[in-house]
Structure formats: C-alpha cells, structure tokens
Amino acid sequence: MIAGHDITVVIPTHRRDEFLGEAIASVVAQVREPAALIVSDDTGSSLTRAVVERWAPLAPFPVRYVDSSGSGAGTAGASRNAGASLATTSILAFLDDDDTWHPEFLASVTGVLTDDDVDFVVAWTTADEEGYRINRIGPGLAAAEVVARNPGFVGSNFVILTESFWSVDGFDPTLTVSNDKDFLVRVLQAGMRYSVVDEVLVRNRIHATGQLTDKTERRAAGIERYMVKHAELLSARDRRELRAQIASVRRVTAPRAALRLGYLARLVYLRSLSMVGRSSL
C-alpha cells in the first residue's frame, strides 16, 4: 500500500519563469498532496529561485529550489535526474515547467499504481492549441513499437516507482531530444509493466519560447544520436521515420538554399516510402 503523501514531484526548468508559476500552482492544487515538490533549475537563475520561493509558503508541503546547473547540465533528462536524486519517497512524478496537471492527476494515477501493482502509470495529455494532436498511449506496448514514434509518453504524464526509475538509471542525461521516448523504450526493454488512465489529465502548452520539438539543428543532431543509441532495435521502417524527422528539420535549418531543397526532396521521398509500406499492409 502506498502512503497518502509518499510522492515526490520534480519540475525541471530552463528559463521559463513566465510559465513555471502555473506549473507549480497545478501541483499545489492536487487533490492528493505530494510529500514534496523539487524544482530543478539547470541555469541557477536567481529569478527562477524567486518564483519558487514565492510559492513555498503557499503550499501545504515542502517546495524546494535546486540549482542543478554546472557540469553535465543542459538537458531535461539531467535536470529530472538531479531533482529525483533528492527524493526520499517511493514514487516519483515529473511535470515540465510549461505544462499543468488536472487537480485529480496524482490521485488517479497513484490509485491505479497501487491497484494494478505495476511499475508506472501513464495518463492522457492534450495540447492547449486547437488542432495540435498529441498521441494517446494504449496498454500493452513493447519497446519495438515505440522506438520510432512516441505513443503519447511525455515528461509530465506519468508516475513511476522510485526503485523502478533508478533501476534503469533514470533519464539519459546526454540526449538533447527524445529523452522521454528513450526512457519509455528502456523501461519496456527492462520488462516493466504499466497501466494507462484513459482520461485527459495533463495539459501541454504549445508556445514559441523554445521547445524541444522546435526545428533546430540541435533537434536534428539529437535524433541522429538517438538513432545510434537504439540502432539494434530500429526496423527499416523505423529508420525511415526518424530520417524523415531529421529531413523535416533540416529543410528549414540547413544553411544554404540548395541544401534545404535537398532535404525537402529527401523528406518527400521518405514519406512516399512510408505511404507505400502502409498501403501494402
């Protein structure tokens, strides 16, 4: 049985003070209170610390600011791990600094975690921008089914047993993108079991102030590193899918028009192959 407050929430943050307060507010508003909230700031910003300190006296549980800048910082995975390393509870929950939870999120997912006796539980999420589609994860997926396309597992919509989290060494701190998907692949490879709460309990904010899904060279290079890491698990179709994602980024970011045109042609070609593959199934 899980104790009523045996949950630590970790919010990794990176220069998003304009959103962070709302994320913290959604944790404070939870029907099931956590034992603690840790805000892990990889910039060591005095302004971010001030946001956290304003909220600390308003919460019925400890709210802690952690300066996780320095060597090895700079990725969401590194920030999450830094915060999680300070937790003393049996459950971990993560919330990105630009997302928010429905008040019933922790109550719903931890209730299923107890009832189903699984390692982690995932809820559904929605975007705050009309027409922006986010996948909704289903039960029973295997690592090979999620390695190329994220089924709806993000850094804000799951809780996991702390022991299970550290058994795979947490998030990969070297990945600049695809760190959520990489984590899901590894826990499934490790044989962990999960359940799904088929309710929308998380809101993902879509904004223009820097997101991992933005079309940048950092994203393209990160996908390439991800492909190298999971090369043995990727099918030919998976590789086409990921190469198409890279081409989609570089058709925008390549430094010369000729290169951008080449990546556009590659994207069209790879997507045509994928369409042929699907039509032959």
Residues 15-34 pLDDT 10s: 999 999 999 999 999 999 99
How many whole angstroms separate alpha carbon 249 and alpha carbon 269?
15
pLDDT of 104 higher than 50: yes
pLDDT at site 1: 41
Main-chain phi, psi angles of 100, to 5 degrees? -140, 155
Q: What are 26-78's pLDDT values in tens digits?
A: 999 999 999 999 999 999 999 999 999 999 999 999 999 999 998 888 899 99
Question: 53-57, 133-137, 199-203, 207-211: which has the minimum mean pLDDT?
Answer: 207-211
Residue type at position 163: E
How many whole angstroms separate alpha carbon 14 and alpha carbon 44?
9
Q: What are 150-167's pLDDT values in tens digits?
A: 999 999 999 999 999 999
C-beta of residue 240 within 8 angstroms of C-beta of residue 246: no
For the chain, the residue count is: 281
Model-wide pTM > 0.85: yes
How many whole angstroms separate alpha carbon 111 and alpha carbon 114?
5
Confidence of residue 279 (pLDDT cuts 50, 70, 90): very low
Main-chain phi, psi angles of 38, to 5 degrees? -115, 120
pLDDT of 211 higher than 80: no
